[in-house]
Amino acid sequence: MNLFINDLACAASPGQTLGKAARLNHSHVGYVCGGHGVCQACYVTVQEGGECLSPLSDIEKAFLSDRQIHSGGRLACQAKIEKDGTIRVLSRPEEVRRLLFSNPLGLFAYGATMGQDTASRIGPGIANLAGRIVRREIGTPNSLGDLLESAGAAFQLAATTLPQMIPFREQAMGLLSMLPSLPLPSLPLPSLPIPINLPFFGPKAPPEQIERIQLTVGAKGLQSLPVSVAHSSSPVDVADLAGIREEHAVRLVKAGVKNFDNLLQRGKDRNGRKELSGSSGIAEDQVLTLVNRADLARIKGIGFVYSELLESSGVDTVPELAQRNPVNLHAKMVEVNQAKHQVEHFPSLDQVVSWVEQAKKLPRVINY
């Protein structure tokens, strides 16, 4: 698997989203809304290898404009790598950085186009998010808070805080501050690709009142939503929980779970799992599943990926693994993986024999 983000080689494998691969490789791809596909901070342009990715999700169809889709736009938190090949993507911050140094004045047209794209999808995007909450796809007691937080990020991206979403914003803002000192006749206004007056953002001022060029993004009556922007704008590092579904990993990290050992300790008894379910918003039975996988991951060579394959093969706890016949279990795992394609590198029979032997000697941790 060859993945290049902003022309830098990254380690990745089928089954990961572009967003997860970016975070594991510490690449500059945003992750503001926790993987809900709302903020568009994880927007990337696929330059090569689009056929290796999953089809557009309903979330992407709701939040991306036709222009963005046709130009190869994807949301990294939604686009999943489905098969081996070469994939090259460019993040939005990198696009802006390159434009800043190659064609600074082109930032105006870029920003206006991006704003129009975002503004045109606010309605369908909010409808999509509200539908997911109603269907409990975002099913936590804090669903309303999630909606306000995510919607707030979308509105602020479209209206007020776009400069904070890009690197080198100090240079960009410095460039803007120089505009009033530029003589108006020297600006090729008639050749600009977009009109200066955008009806969406307010009425045109009378010509006699214009003294200098002023770019303002705003809307009458726009008010900031009552959300904690400082909290939502910081990416959540889930690298130490690689293998867990992104939404669950983010919720666990926010609940204070930093790694698999911590997950196992906090969820080893029923009271702990109940507390963790309440603090993370993950259903208690799903918490138990994750804790069981973390327990299996203690066995050298299994890891979290193989623990999921073992679960699909009928082994979801260490005591169960200790009772299995390695030959029969390996055959079952082959059958399951051929049907579900859960892992790319399949374990050998010798590895499975080792797992069973380790499980027999491993101290029991979980109380059911």
pLDDT digits (tens, 9 = 90+) for 250-268: 888 889 988 888 899 999 9
Domain count of the chain?
A: 2
Three-class SS state of 243: coil
The amino acid occupying position 165 is M
Average pLDDT, the chain: 75
Q: Is the pTM of this model over 0.85?
A: no
Tell whether 18 and 167 lie within a shared domain: yes
Q: Which residues contact 295 (CB under 8 A, 6 or more apart)?
A: 264, 317, 318, 365, 366
Structure tokens at 212: 């200098």
Express each pLDDT in 125-174 by its tens digit.
788 877 877 777 665 545 455 445 444 444 444 444 344 444 444 444 44
Condensed to tens digits (0 to 9), the pLDDT of residues 21-62 reads: 887 777 767 666 666 777 778 899 999 999 999 999 988 998
Q: Are 159 and 294 contained in the same domain?
A: no
What's the pLDDT score for residue 93? Answer: 85
Task: Indicate if 164 and 252 belong to the same structural domain.
Answer: no
Q: Assess whether 58 and 149 both reside in one domain.
A: yes
Measured in whole angstroms, how far is the alpha carbon of residue 128 from the centre of its chain?
A: 17
Q: Write out the two tokens for 142.
A: 């804090």
Q: Among 1-15, 203-217, 302-316, where is mean pLDDT lowest?
A: 203-217
Residues 4 and 153 in one domain: yes
- Domain boundary among the residues 135, 160, 176 is at 176
Question: For 288-308, what is the mean pLDDT?
Answer: 86
Tell me, yes or no, whether 113 and 22 share the same domain: yes
The upper half-sphere exposure of residue 28, i.e. CA atoms within 13 Å in the direction of its Cβ, equals 15
**Domain identity same for 16 and 116:** yes
249 part of a folded domain:
yes
Match 């795992």 to its residue by tokens.
333
Same domain, 67 and 160: yes
Q: Is residue 213 part of a domain?
A: no
Mean pLDDT of the 221-250 span:
54
Where are the alpha helices (H) located in the chain, listed in sequence order? Answer: 18-24, 58-63, 66-70, 92-102, 106-120, 122-134, 143-159, 169-177, 229-232, 246-254, 260-266, 270-280, 284-296, 303-312, 318-322, 326-340, 349-361
Helix (H, G, I), strand (E, B) or coil at 44: strand
Q: Domain check: are 152 and 289 in the same one?
A: no
**Which whole number is the average pLDDT over 275-293?**
91
Does 15 have pLDDT greater than 60? Answer: yes
Sort 176 into a burial class: Cβ within 10 Å, 0-12 / 13-18 / 19+: middle
Q: Are residues 248 and 117 in the same domain?
A: no
Clarify whether residues 69 and 169 are in a common domain. yes
Range of the domain at 253: 243-361
